[in-house]
Amino acid sequence: MLSSSNATLVSEASWIIFNVTLGTSQQTSAVVSAGAIPRLVAVFASDVEDTTHNALLALGNIAGASDRLRGIFLEQRAFRPALAILADPSKFSATTVNTATWVMDTCATPGTTGKYNKISTFSETVPVLCKFIQQKHKSKPIAVIVRALRHICSSKAAAEMIFEAGAVPCLVQICTSENPGLRQNALCLVAQFAWHEGMLLQSILDNGILQALQTCITNHVRSRRLACCVASNIAAATPLQAEALIQSSILPILTGLVANQGEEVKVQHEAVTVLVQLAKKGERNHDFFSSLLEGDCVEACCAALHSTDWVMAGKSVLIIKYLIDTPWSGADDAIERLEDSDGVRLLRKIWLEHGGNRWAESATAHTLLKVYFPDSSRRPRV
C-alpha cells in the first residue's frame, strides 16, 4: 500500500504503520523486517503533508524503539527526510518542522552499545542542524536541535564540525536563553568546546562565553552548576585562556558561591574546582595568586572549611596550601587573611576531626599548622 500510486491508499497505509510503531518494539521490529523504512522514506515524494507527516512520525518511532532498530534506521540514512525538512523549514507547517526536530533528536540520542555514536554517521546532518539553530525559530524546536547536537558532539571532530558550520556565536548567545531546557543543553554543548581547549575553547572565549556564564550564575539558579563546569574547563586550559577567566568579573562570583553555605553542594563542588585549577596555574604564574587574593579566595576557602562536605573541605585546604606554602610575594598577605578569617582554628579542626577516609586533607592541614602556626599544631592534652 505504501508503494501504491493511489494517494489515498498511501495515506491510509502511512497512518496504519504509524499506529503500529506506537506499540511494542517487537511490533515495530516486524514493520521494519517487512521493509517499511525505504518505503516510508519514499513517501516523502508525496505532496500531501498529512501523509508525509505520518511517515515521519513512524520513522521517529522506529529510531526510538530500540538500539537495534536505531542502528538499522541510521544505516539506511532514514533521517534524510527529516533533514530535508529542517534544511528548508519555510516549505512546511510548524507541526511538521517540530516533528522533524524530534526525529533528529531521537536518532542522535546515544544508544547503549555506542556502535553508531560516531561523527561519520552524522556528518551530513551537522551543517543542516547548525544552520537551523541560527535561523529565527521558536525556542522549542531550537532546544530540541541543540540537544541533538549535544548528543552528536561526543568527540573533537564533532565539535570542529559545529565550529566550521559557524554555530559558535549562536550557541554562546543561547547559553543565556530564558528557556531552561535550551539554556541547559547549550551549556552542555559549549562545555564540550571548553574541554577540547585550543581553537575550540578560544572560539567560545572570543564570542563572550565568560559574560554568558556570569549571567547564568547570577540570574539562573538551575544553570549554575553547568556554568561553573564550563568555567572549570576553561580554568584547566592553557595559561593564556585561564588568564582570561581570572581577569574577568566572574571570579568574585565564584568565590561567593564557595563561601555561601546555603548554596547547593554540587554547585559549590564545581565552583571550588575552578579555584583549584586557577591556584595550580599560580605555581608558575604568581599573577594568578594575586587575582585569587583580590577575589577573596582565602576568605571563601575558610568559609568552606565549615562545610561537612569532605570535597569542599579537601579542595579548600589544597587552595590554602597553594597560596601560603608557595614562595611568592603575597604569601604573608595570604597568611594574614587566613588568620583574620579564623582559618587557623578551622585548619586545626580539619586536622583533628577529618581522619579515616579523609586522611589526606587532615595531613595537609596539620602540615600547614606545623610550618606556619606551630602553637596550633599540637594535640590537646587529655
Report yes or no on 300 lying in a domain.
no
Asked whether residue 172 falls in the same domain as residue 131, the answer is: yes
Asked whether residue 100 falls in the same domain as residue 23, the answer is: yes
Asked whether residue 172 falls in the same domain as residue 214, the answer is: yes
Q: Phi, psi (5° rounding) for residue 154?
A: -105, 5
Asked whether residue 75 falls in the same domain as residue 176, the answer is: no
Asked whether residue 7 falls in the same domain as residue 77, the answer is: yes
- Give the burial string for 343-365 (b: 16+ CB within 10 Å, else e): bbebbbebbeebeeebeebbebb
User: How many domains does the chain contain in total?
Assistant: 2
Asked whether residue 138 falls in the same domain as residue 202, the answer is: yes
Asked whether residue 144 falls in the same domain as residue 98, the answer is: no
**pTM of the full structure:** 0.85
Report yes or no on 120 lying in a domain.
no
Q: Which residue matches cell numbers 559545529?
A: 162
pLDDT digits (tens, 9 = 90+) for 86-132: 999 999 999 999 999 999 999 998 765 565 666 677 888 999 999 99
Report yes or no on 317 lying in a domain.
no
Per-residue pLDDT at 346: 96
Final residue of a structural domain among 109, 139, 157: 109
Q: Kindly indicate the confidence band of residue 4, based on its pLDDT and cuts at 50, 70 and 90.
A: very low
Report yes or no on 12 lying in a domain.
yes
Cβ–Cβ < 8 Å for 174, 203: no
Asked whether residue 189 falls in the same domain as residue 101, the answer is: no
pLDDT at 80 over 50: yes
pLDDT at 6 over 50: no
Per-residue pLDDT at 9: 60
pLDDT digits (tens, 9 = 90+) for 41-61: 988 877 778 888 989 999 999
- Tell me, rounded to whole angstroms, the distance of Cα 36 from its chain centroid: 37
Q: Kindly indicate the confidence band of residue 356, based on its pLDDT and cuts at 50, 70 and 90.
A: low
Asked whether residue 214 falls in the same domain as residue 135, the answer is: yes
Asked whether residue 24 falls in the same domain as residue 57, the answer is: yes
Report yes or no on 70 lying in a domain.
yes
Asked whether residue 85 falls in the same domain as residue 42, the answer is: yes
Rounded to whole angstroms, how far apart are CA atoms 187 and 224? Answer: 10
Domain region containing 146: 125-223
- CATH number at 151 reads 1.25.10.10
Per-residue pLDDT at 348: 94
Rounded to whole angstroms, how far apart are CA atoms 45 and 48? Answer: 9
Report yes or no on 219 lying in a domain.
yes
Per-residue pLDDT at 146: 95
pLDDT digits (tens, 9 = 90+) for 206-250: 999 999 999 999 888 889 999 999 999 999 999 999 999 999 999
pLDDT at 272 over 70: yes
Rounded to whole angstroms, how far apart are CA atoms 226 and 184? Answer: 7
Residue with more model confidence, 169 or 355: 169
Report yes or no on 83 lying in a domain.
yes
Asked whether residue 101 falls in the same domain as residue 166, the answer is: no
Report yes or no on 209 lying in a domain.
yes
Q: Kindly indicate the confidence band of residue 357, based on its pLDDT and cuts at 50, 70 and 90.
A: low
Cβ–Cβ < 8 Å for 58, 91: no
